[in-house]
Amino acid sequence: MSTYDKQMVGQRIRTRREALGLSREQLAEHIGRVPRFYADIERGQAGMSIETMLSITSLLKLSPNEILFGQDNDRTLHNEIENILAALNQCTEKQRKDSLELLRLFLSAIG
């Protein structure tokens, strides 16, 4: 059975928020909480209500299981793809083309 660890929950939330390019203040505003309370959640110093957790899961596109226990095998690939797309969306067109070429080279080298 998995155990609830507030610090790990906060770390998973922070990692996903950063991958999506959101600030703490932006996320706090989106979920209707003050930034200080939201920061305490990320640091593992505060728990959260079910309503707050569901708001966070919806915004970050994570399942409650992923946030609470760090696992959701059905969504792992989907989340990895979303993280890659989020990173590529921050690149210039040339950087995206170069990234695709590097990926192709890497895959051909290991394949």
Residue with the two structure tokens 């909480």: 33
CB-CB contact of 48 with 55 (8 Å): no
Q: How far is the C-alpha of 73 from the C-alpha of 70, rounded, in Å?
A: 10
**One-letter amino acid identity for 11?**
Q
Q: How far is the C-alpha of 16 from the C-alpha of 79, rounded, in Å?
A: 9
Sign of CA dihedral 64, 70, 71, 75: positive
Query: What does the block give as tokens for 77?
Result: 């690939």
CB-CB contact of 57 with 9 (8 Å): no
pLDDT digits (tens, 9 = 90+) for 22-47: 999 999 999 999 999 999 999 999 99
pLDDT averaged over every residue in the chain: 89
pLDDT digits (tens, 9 = 90+) for 41-84: 999 999 999 999 999 999 999 888 889 888 765 566 677 888 88
Residue 1 has pLDDT above 80, yes or no: no
**Looking at residue 69, what DSSP letter applies?**
H
Read off the pTM: 0.64
